Amino acid sequence: MTGKIDDPIDASFQAFPDEPEGWANKFKEVALSLTGHVFLPAVLFKILSDQLSQTSRFKRITYLLRAFTLKIGELERQTGDDRGRIKALQAYVESPRFQEAAASACEEAARASDVNRVERMAKVLSGSLTPTQWSPKDENVATLIRDLAQLGDRDVQVLQKLSIAFGALMLAHPTFPDDLFPPNNSSFEKVLREDGDRDGFYSTCARLIGFGLAIDVTWPMNWTQPHERCIRPTRRGLALLGYLELFQR
């Protein structure tokens, strides 16, 4: 199984062209044009060198693949000699869906400047081999990885807090009836108070809603506190947390 998993990832390396000819000299020219600033030229050169250097890009991809390999090792130990499960995994790994996800993970890892983001992408890529109870049957893991590449630590933390507020309720009622949430909104208010930054929390929630990871549930007309908010994770948000091992799979 390991060899088959490696094939689409190896193929994704073809997505990266060689370093442009004379790229270092071009960066130096840009830096020299900004000599009126004390620190800016050196800072820009360092950023551009790191982000566009083929060596740095492959270091980030290597980190991704190592993290992915560790997860695969765990999965293989869990699978054991279950041939039916191994066959299903092989079929998924050979599918265009997984190959696109692997290529997207490598591309996003090459551009990432944060190791935590690369590690999260590796978890989602490997986690997609064993979908969570929240994962849609036709889940587009490549899109989820591209979205994840744009999320920071704060986004993931707030999404996890939303799962803490509504997680037990959602596990008990996985169909998510809308009228179930407002009467049970005290947990949301609790995590909001504990966070201590109401504006920042709501701002991050708005970002999560934009990525389809959370939803602002409409209050019933007969509820007495329509001014309150009721923001919960979506199934997609819970699937992401499941891959990241931050919520029950």
Residue 135 φ/ψ, nearest 5 degrees? -75, 130
Q: Distance between CA atoms of 19 and 207, rounded to whole angstroms? A: 35
Q: Find the DSSP H helices in the chain.
A: 2-12, 23-32, 40-52, 54-79, 83-93, 96-111, 115-127, 141-148, 153-172, 186-195, 198-210, 235-243
Indicate whether 55 and 134 sit together in one domain.
Answer: yes
Instruction: With CA atoms as reference, report the closest residue to 122 among 158, 68, 46, 58.
Output: 68
171 and 55 in a common domain: no
The domain in which residue 90 lies consists of 2-138
- Could you give the number of structural domains in the chain? 2
Residue range 226-235: mean pLDDT, rounded: 79
- CB contact at 8 A, 215 and 234: yes
Domain boundary among the residues 105, 138, 171 is at 138
Query: Where does a domain end: 86, 111, 138?
Result: 138
Shared domain for 28 and 134, answered yes or no, is yes
* Structure confidence by residue, pLDDT tens digits, 65-105: 888 888 777 877 888 788 888 888 888 888 888 889 988 99
- What stretch of H or E contains 232? strand 231-233
157, 125: one domain: no
Domain assignment present for 191: yes
Same domain, 162 and 120: no
pLDDT at 248: 84
Are 223 and 172 in the same domain? Answer: yes
Give domain status of residue 248, yes or no.
Answer: no
17-75: per-residue pLDDT in tens?
Answer: 455 555 555 555 555 555 555 455 555 556 555 655 666 777 888 888 888 888 777 87
Q: Are residues 85 and 207 in the same domain?
A: no
